[in-house]
Structure 1
Amino acid sequence: MEKFVPFESRMVVMPIDNIDTDQVIPARFLKKTDRVGWGELLFNDWRYEADGAPKPDFVLNQDWAKECKVLLAGDNFGCGSSREHAPWALTQYGFRAILSTSFADIFKSNSLKNSLLPIVVSPETHKKLLSMPEGTVKVDLASRTLTLPDGSTAEFPVDSFSQQCMLEGVDELGFILKHSTEIAAYEVHRDSTLNTLDAA
Protein backbone atom coordinates (compact mmCIF):
# COMPACT_ATOMS: atom_id res chain seq x y z
CA MET A 1 0.00 0.00 0.00
CA GLU A 2 1.32 3.45 -0.91
CA LYS A 3 2.31 5.70 2.00
CA PHE A 4 -0.13 8.55 2.50
CA VAL A 5 1.78 11.83 2.37
CA PRO A 6 0.45 15.42 2.53
CA PHE A 7 -0.67 16.69 -0.86
CA GLU A 8 -2.41 19.60 -2.57
CA SER A 9 -4.98 19.19 -5.33
CA ARG A 10 -7.87 20.77 -7.15
CA MET A 11 -11.22 19.10 -6.45
CA VAL A 12 -13.53 17.22 -8.75
CA VAL A 13 -16.97 18.42 -7.65
CA MET A 14 -19.82 15.90 -7.79
CA PRO A 15 -22.37 17.27 -5.29
CA ILE A 16 -24.85 14.39 -5.56
CA ASP A 17 -26.30 12.88 -2.39
CA ASN A 18 -26.50 9.10 -1.83
CA ILE A 19 -24.04 8.02 -4.52
CA ASP A 20 -24.02 4.26 -4.03
CA THR A 21 -21.36 1.68 -4.76
CA ASP A 22 -23.23 0.41 -7.83
CA GLN A 23 -22.96 3.87 -9.34
CA VAL A 24 -19.28 4.03 -8.39
CA ILE A 25 -18.63 0.62 -9.98
CA PRO A 26 -21.60 -1.25 -11.53
CA ALA A 27 -22.15 -4.78 -10.25
CA ARG A 28 -21.87 -6.33 -13.74
CA PHE A 29 -18.13 -5.65 -13.69
CA LEU A 30 -17.50 -7.49 -10.43
CA LYS A 31 -16.80 -10.77 -12.21
CA LYS A 32 -13.34 -9.40 -13.04
CA THR A 33 -10.86 -11.38 -10.95
CA ASP A 34 -7.80 -9.12 -11.00
CA ARG A 35 -7.21 -5.81 -9.24
CA VAL A 36 -6.22 -3.73 -12.27
CA GLY A 37 -8.27 -1.74 -14.75
CA TRP A 38 -10.90 -0.52 -12.30
CA GLY A 39 -10.16 3.17 -12.79
CA GLU A 40 -11.42 2.98 -16.36
CA LEU A 41 -14.75 1.62 -15.06
CA LEU A 42 -15.29 4.30 -12.39
CA PHE A 43 -18.80 5.82 -12.70
CA ASN A 44 -19.10 3.84 -15.92
CA ASP A 45 -22.81 4.42 -16.57
CA TRP A 46 -22.48 8.18 -15.99
CA ARG A 47 -19.19 8.48 -17.80
CA TYR A 48 -19.80 6.61 -21.06
CA GLU A 49 -22.43 6.32 -23.76
CA ALA A 50 -24.03 2.93 -24.48
CA ASP A 51 -21.47 2.36 -27.25
CA GLY A 52 -18.57 3.06 -24.86
CA ALA A 53 -17.79 6.56 -26.11
CA PRO A 54 -16.91 9.04 -23.34
CA LYS A 55 -19.61 11.60 -22.57
CA PRO A 56 -17.84 14.89 -23.26
CA ASP A 57 -19.76 16.83 -20.60
CA PHE A 58 -19.11 14.41 -17.71
CA VAL A 59 -16.63 15.85 -15.24
CA LEU A 60 -14.26 12.87 -15.09
CA ASN A 61 -13.81 13.05 -18.86
CA GLN A 62 -12.32 16.56 -18.64
CA ASP A 63 -8.54 16.67 -19.05
CA TRP A 64 -8.02 18.74 -15.90
CA ALA A 65 -9.95 16.21 -13.77
CA LYS A 66 -7.42 13.48 -14.52
CA GLU A 67 -4.88 15.34 -12.38
CA CYS A 68 -7.17 15.71 -9.38
CA LYS A 69 -6.70 13.67 -6.21
CA VAL A 70 -9.79 14.89 -4.33
CA LEU A 71 -13.47 14.21 -5.00
CA LEU A 72 -16.02 16.53 -3.38
CA ALA A 73 -19.25 14.53 -3.16
CA GLY A 74 -22.69 14.98 -1.66
CA ASP A 75 -24.01 13.46 1.55
CA ASN A 76 -23.97 9.70 2.35
CA PHE A 77 -21.32 8.77 -0.18
CA GLY A 78 -20.70 5.04 -0.78
CA CYS A 79 -24.05 3.70 0.40
CA GLY A 80 -25.42 0.44 -0.96
CA SER A 81 -23.71 -2.94 -1.13
CA SER A 82 -20.26 -3.69 0.20
CA ARG A 83 -17.48 -4.00 -2.37
CA GLU A 84 -13.79 -3.19 -2.18
CA HIS A 85 -13.97 -2.57 -5.91
CA ALA A 86 -15.39 0.92 -5.20
CA PRO A 87 -12.22 2.26 -3.50
CA TRP A 88 -10.12 0.32 -6.03
CA ALA A 89 -11.83 2.19 -8.88
CA LEU A 90 -11.53 5.55 -7.13
CA THR A 91 -7.83 5.17 -6.28
CA GLN A 92 -6.93 3.74 -9.68
CA TYR A 93 -8.53 6.77 -11.32
CA GLY A 94 -6.23 8.87 -9.14
CA PHE A 95 -8.26 9.95 -6.10
CA ARG A 96 -6.62 9.85 -2.67
CA ALA A 97 -9.39 11.54 -0.66
CA ILE A 98 -13.17 11.93 -0.78
CA LEU A 99 -14.88 14.86 0.92
CA SER A 100 -18.46 14.44 2.12
CA THR A 101 -20.71 15.27 5.05
CA SER A 102 -21.11 11.52 5.72
CA PHE A 103 -20.08 8.11 4.40
CA ALA A 104 -21.63 4.67 4.54
CA ASP A 105 -19.81 2.69 7.24
CA ILE A 106 -18.73 -0.26 5.08
CA PHE A 107 -17.48 1.99 2.28
CA LYS A 108 -15.54 4.04 4.82
CA SER A 109 -13.93 0.91 6.26
CA ASN A 110 -13.05 -0.47 2.81
CA SER A 111 -11.57 2.88 1.79
CA LEU A 112 -9.29 3.16 4.81
CA LYS A 113 -7.97 -0.35 4.10
CA ASN A 114 -7.12 0.69 0.53
CA SER A 115 -5.38 4.02 1.25
CA LEU A 116 -8.36 6.14 0.21
CA LEU A 117 -9.10 8.79 2.84
CA PRO A 118 -12.80 9.51 3.50
CA ILE A 119 -12.89 12.98 5.03
CA VAL A 120 -16.05 13.99 6.88
CA VAL A 121 -16.62 17.75 6.81
CA SER A 122 -19.33 19.80 8.45
CA PRO A 123 -22.28 21.07 6.36
CA GLU A 124 -20.85 24.58 6.71
CA THR A 125 -17.43 23.53 5.41
CA HIS A 126 -19.08 21.52 2.63
CA LYS A 127 -21.07 24.58 1.56
CA LYS A 128 -17.91 26.69 1.56
CA LEU A 129 -16.08 24.12 -0.60
CA LEU A 130 -18.95 24.07 -3.08
CA SER A 131 -18.64 27.84 -3.41
CA MET A 132 -15.00 27.42 -4.51
CA PRO A 133 -15.28 24.60 -7.09
CA GLU A 134 -12.06 25.47 -8.88
CA GLY A 135 -10.10 25.89 -5.66
CA THR A 136 -7.21 23.83 -4.38
CA VAL A 137 -7.29 22.01 -1.06
CA LYS A 138 -4.46 20.56 1.05
CA VAL A 139 -4.82 17.23 2.84
CA ASP A 140 -2.58 16.35 5.79
CA LEU A 141 -3.42 13.01 7.36
CA ALA A 142 -0.76 13.25 10.08
CA SER A 143 -2.37 16.38 11.52
CA ARG A 144 -5.88 15.33 10.39
CA THR A 145 -6.26 18.72 8.75
CA LEU A 146 -7.93 19.89 5.55
CA THR A 147 -6.87 23.32 4.28
CA LEU A 148 -9.54 25.02 2.16
CA PRO A 149 -8.87 27.22 -0.88
CA ASP A 150 -9.39 30.36 1.21
CA GLY A 151 -6.68 29.27 3.66
CA SER A 152 -9.02 28.27 6.47
CA THR A 153 -8.58 24.83 8.01
CA ALA A 154 -10.87 22.07 9.22
CA GLU A 155 -9.91 19.09 11.31
CA PHE A 156 -11.36 15.71 10.39
CA PRO A 157 -11.76 12.48 12.35
CA VAL A 158 -9.97 9.23 11.54
CA ASP A 159 -9.29 6.29 13.84
CA SER A 160 -5.69 6.11 15.00
CA PHE A 161 -5.03 2.56 13.72
CA SER A 162 -6.16 3.38 10.17
CA GLN A 163 -4.20 6.62 10.31
CA GLN A 164 -1.02 4.79 11.36
CA CYS A 165 -1.41 2.12 8.67
CA MET A 166 -1.98 4.69 5.92
CA LEU A 167 0.93 6.86 7.00
CA GLU A 168 3.23 3.83 7.07
CA GLY A 169 1.84 2.38 3.84
CA VAL A 170 0.87 -0.99 5.30
CA ASP A 171 -2.39 -2.92 5.40
CA GLU A 172 -3.59 -4.87 8.45
CA LEU A 173 -1.48 -7.91 7.56
CA GLY A 174 1.53 -5.74 6.93
CA PHE A 175 1.07 -4.14 10.35
CA ILE A 176 1.06 -7.59 11.99
CA LEU A 177 4.13 -8.70 10.06
CA LYS A 178 6.02 -5.63 11.27
CA HIS A 179 5.73 -7.14 14.75
CA SER A 180 6.81 -10.64 13.75
CA THR A 181 9.86 -10.56 16.06
CA GLU A 182 7.74 -9.73 19.10
CA ILE A 183 5.15 -12.33 18.10
CA ALA A 184 7.84 -15.00 17.72
CA ALA A 185 9.27 -14.12 21.14
CA TYR A 186 5.84 -14.44 22.71
CA GLU A 187 5.27 -17.81 21.03
CA VAL A 188 8.55 -19.14 22.46
CA HIS A 189 7.55 -18.34 26.04
CA ARG A 190 3.86 -19.14 26.07
CA ASP A 191 2.56 -22.54 27.14
CA SER A 192 2.80 -25.14 24.39
CA THR A 193 -0.78 -26.13 25.05
CA LEU A 194 -3.59 -23.82 25.95
CA ASN A 195 -6.51 -25.08 28.01
CA THR A 196 -9.39 -23.23 26.40
CA LEU A 197 -11.82 -24.83 28.89
CA ASP A 198 -10.14 -23.22 31.85
CA ALA A 199 -11.89 -19.95 32.65
CA ALA A 200 -9.31 -18.98 35.26
Structure 2
Amino acid sequence: MYMDKMVRNDSYEPDLRKEGKYICPMPKPPSPPMGVESWHAHLAPHERLFYHQTMSSVRYSKRFRATASIPKDSLDFQLQARYDHGRETFPEKVDAVLQRDTCGATPSWAAPYGQSEVGSNARMNLFRVLRNTQVVRVKMQDSLGHPLIIGGCKEKIHPSRVKLICSGVHTQLVNNGFSRQTSDGNFFRY
Protein backbone atom coordinates (compact mmCIF):
# COMPACT_ATOMS: atom_id res chain seq x y z
CA MET A 1 0.00 0.00 0.00
CA TYR A 2 1.22 3.46 -0.87
CA MET A 3 0.09 6.90 0.20
CA ASP A 4 0.81 10.38 -1.11
CA LYS A 5 2.95 12.55 1.15
CA MET A 6 3.83 16.22 0.82
CA VAL A 7 7.57 16.85 1.11
CA ARG A 8 9.72 19.93 0.63
CA ASN A 9 10.67 20.61 -2.96
CA ASP A 10 14.48 20.86 -3.16
CA SER A 11 14.51 21.41 -6.90
CA TYR A 12 15.54 24.65 -8.58
CA GLU A 13 11.99 25.10 -9.89
CA PRO A 14 8.65 24.88 -8.02
CA ASP A 15 5.99 22.50 -9.28
CA LEU A 16 3.13 24.78 -10.41
CA ARG A 17 1.48 22.51 -12.98
CA LYS A 18 -1.86 22.72 -11.12
CA GLU A 19 -1.94 26.51 -11.50
CA GLY A 20 -1.12 26.80 -15.15
CA LYS A 21 1.29 25.71 -17.84
CA TYR A 22 4.79 26.58 -18.93
CA ILE A 23 4.99 28.23 -22.33
CA CYS A 24 8.73 27.53 -22.49
CA PRO A 25 11.02 25.94 -19.90
CA MET A 26 12.79 27.92 -17.21
CA PRO A 27 16.61 28.13 -17.29
CA LYS A 28 18.07 24.81 -16.19
CA PRO A 29 21.32 24.73 -14.19
CA PRO A 30 24.27 22.73 -15.51
CA SER A 31 24.36 19.15 -14.30
CA PRO A 32 26.42 18.57 -11.14
CA PRO A 33 29.66 16.57 -11.28
CA MET A 34 29.79 12.94 -10.14
CA GLY A 35 29.32 12.45 -6.41
CA VAL A 36 27.37 15.70 -5.83
CA GLU A 37 23.68 15.14 -5.14
CA SER A 38 22.37 18.71 -4.86
CA TRP A 39 21.84 20.85 -7.93
CA HIS A 40 23.45 23.98 -6.43
CA ALA A 41 26.58 22.73 -4.64
CA HIS A 42 28.94 23.34 -7.57
CA LEU A 43 27.53 26.75 -8.57
CA ALA A 44 28.80 30.19 -7.63
CA PRO A 45 26.39 32.30 -5.50
CA HIS A 46 25.34 34.53 -8.41
CA GLU A 47 24.64 31.47 -10.62
CA ARG A 48 22.67 29.82 -7.83
CA LEU A 49 20.56 32.97 -7.46
CA PHE A 50 19.94 33.08 -11.21
CA TYR A 51 18.82 29.46 -11.56
CA HIS A 52 16.76 29.17 -8.37
CA GLN A 53 13.13 30.10 -9.06
CA THR A 54 10.69 31.01 -6.33
CA MET A 55 6.95 30.50 -6.61
CA SER A 56 6.42 34.22 -7.04
CA SER A 57 9.11 34.58 -9.70
CA VAL A 58 7.56 31.75 -11.74
CA ARG A 59 4.05 33.17 -11.40
CA TYR A 60 5.12 36.59 -12.69
CA SER A 61 7.39 35.21 -15.36
CA LYS A 62 6.49 35.50 -19.04
CA ARG A 63 7.33 31.82 -19.45
CA PHE A 64 4.39 30.75 -17.25
CA ARG A 65 0.71 31.11 -18.17
CA ALA A 66 -1.63 30.89 -15.17
CA THR A 67 -5.26 29.80 -15.30
CA ALA A 68 -7.97 32.46 -15.32
CA SER A 69 -9.30 31.60 -11.84
CA ILE A 70 -6.15 32.80 -10.06
CA PRO A 71 -6.54 36.34 -8.69
CA LYS A 72 -4.29 38.87 -10.43
CA ASP A 73 -4.93 42.09 -8.52
CA SER A 74 -6.60 43.38 -5.33
CA LEU A 75 -10.07 43.45 -6.89
CA ASP A 76 -9.81 39.76 -7.84
CA PHE A 77 -8.67 38.95 -4.28
CA GLN A 78 -11.68 40.73 -2.80
CA LEU A 79 -14.14 39.14 -5.22
CA GLN A 80 -12.87 35.64 -4.43
CA ALA A 81 -12.70 36.22 -0.67
CA ARG A 82 -14.68 34.13 1.78
CA TYR A 83 -16.39 37.25 3.13
CA ASP A 84 -20.15 37.34 2.58
CA HIS A 85 -21.70 40.68 3.55
CA GLY A 86 -25.17 39.10 3.76
CA ARG A 87 -24.14 36.90 6.71
CA GLU A 88 -21.60 38.88 8.72
CA THR A 89 -22.85 41.91 10.60
CA PHE A 90 -19.65 43.48 11.87
CA PRO A 91 -16.79 42.02 9.83
CA GLU A 92 -13.12 42.67 10.45
CA LYS A 93 -11.08 44.46 7.79
CA VAL A 94 -9.08 41.33 7.08
CA ASP A 95 -12.25 39.33 6.23
CA ALA A 96 -12.49 41.07 2.86
CA VAL A 97 -9.24 39.47 1.66
CA LEU A 98 -9.23 36.04 3.38
CA GLN A 99 -9.31 33.32 0.74
CA ARG A 100 -11.06 29.95 1.10
CA ASP A 101 -7.91 28.12 0.01
CA THR A 102 -5.89 29.39 2.96
CA CYS A 103 -8.65 29.21 5.59
CA GLY A 104 -9.66 25.61 4.99
CA ALA A 105 -13.08 24.03 5.31
CA THR A 106 -13.93 25.38 8.76
CA PRO A 107 -17.44 26.41 9.76
CA SER A 108 -17.92 30.15 9.91
CA TRP A 109 -19.09 31.84 13.12
CA ALA A 110 -21.50 33.88 11.02
CA ALA A 111 -23.15 30.90 9.33
CA PRO A 112 -26.58 30.19 10.87
CA TYR A 113 -26.93 27.13 13.15
CA GLY A 114 -23.23 26.23 12.89
CA GLN A 115 -23.43 25.36 9.20
CA SER A 116 -20.41 25.41 6.99
CA GLU A 117 -20.04 28.53 4.95
CA VAL A 118 -20.80 28.69 1.25
CA GLY A 119 -18.03 27.10 -0.81
CA SER A 120 -16.33 25.50 2.19
CA ASN A 121 -15.39 22.44 0.15
CA ALA A 122 -12.55 24.45 -1.38
CA ARG A 123 -10.01 22.08 0.20
CA MET A 124 -11.15 19.39 -2.19
CA ASN A 125 -10.86 21.67 -5.22
CA LEU A 126 -7.60 23.33 -4.19
CA PHE A 127 -5.57 24.19 -7.25
CA ARG A 128 -3.30 26.92 -5.93
CA VAL A 129 0.04 25.86 -4.54
CA LEU A 130 0.52 27.46 -1.12
CA ARG A 131 3.94 26.00 -0.22
CA ASN A 132 6.89 24.89 -2.28
CA THR A 133 6.20 21.18 -1.86
CA GLN A 134 5.85 18.16 -4.07
CA VAL A 135 3.81 14.97 -3.76
CA VAL A 136 5.81 11.77 -3.27
CA ARG A 137 4.41 8.25 -3.07
CA VAL A 138 5.59 6.58 0.15
CA LYS A 139 5.14 2.95 1.13
CA MET A 140 2.87 2.70 4.18
CA GLN A 141 4.17 1.01 7.31
CA ASP A 142 2.33 -1.98 8.70
CA SER A 143 0.05 -1.02 11.58
CA LEU A 144 0.50 -4.41 13.29
CA GLY A 145 4.25 -4.01 13.68
CA HIS A 146 5.38 -6.89 11.50
CA PRO A 147 5.80 -7.15 7.75
CA LEU A 148 3.24 -9.01 5.74
CA ILE A 149 4.97 -11.42 3.39
CA ILE A 150 2.95 -12.29 0.34
CA GLY A 151 4.05 -15.53 -1.20
CA GLY A 152 3.69 -16.71 -4.73
CA CYS A 153 4.87 -19.28 -7.23
CA LYS A 154 8.54 -18.84 -8.02
CA GLU A 155 8.37 -21.09 -11.06
CA LYS A 156 5.64 -22.35 -13.30
CA ILE A 157 5.35 -26.14 -13.05
CA HIS A 158 3.50 -28.16 -15.64
CA PRO A 159 0.18 -29.47 -14.24
CA SER A 160 0.77 -33.06 -15.42
CA ARG A 161 3.63 -33.56 -12.93
CA VAL A 162 2.77 -35.89 -10.09
CA LYS A 163 4.55 -34.11 -7.23
CA LEU A 164 2.55 -30.89 -7.38
CA ILE A 165 0.57 -31.65 -4.24
CA CYS A 166 1.75 -32.60 -0.78
CA SER A 167 2.22 -36.35 -0.51
CA GLY A 168 0.52 -38.15 2.34
CA VAL A 169 -1.71 -41.09 3.29
CA HIS A 170 -4.92 -39.37 2.18
CA THR A 171 -3.60 -38.04 -1.13
CA GLN A 172 -4.82 -39.75 -4.29
CA LEU A 173 -2.45 -39.51 -7.23
CA VAL A 174 -2.01 -41.32 -10.51
CA ASN A 175 0.33 -43.93 -8.98
CA ASN A 176 -2.15 -46.52 -7.67
CA GLY A 177 0.43 -48.80 -6.13
CA PHE A 178 2.55 -48.97 -3.01
CA SER A 179 5.43 -46.55 -2.73
CA ARG A 180 8.02 -45.70 -0.15
CA GLN A 181 8.04 -42.46 1.75
CA THR A 182 11.06 -40.32 0.98
CA SER A 183 11.66 -39.40 4.62
CA ASP A 184 11.83 -42.78 6.43
CA GLY A 185 11.22 -45.43 3.75
CA ASN A 186 7.91 -46.81 5.12
CA PHE A 187 5.31 -48.19 2.72
CA PHE A 188 2.07 -46.38 2.13
CA ARG A 189 -0.44 -46.38 -0.65
CA TYR A 190 -1.07 -43.24 -2.71
Which TM class, normalised by the smaller chain length? under 0.3
**Rg larger for:** 2
| TM-score normalised per structure 2 | 0.26
| TM-score normalised per structure 1 | 0.25
Larger helix proportion of the pair: 1
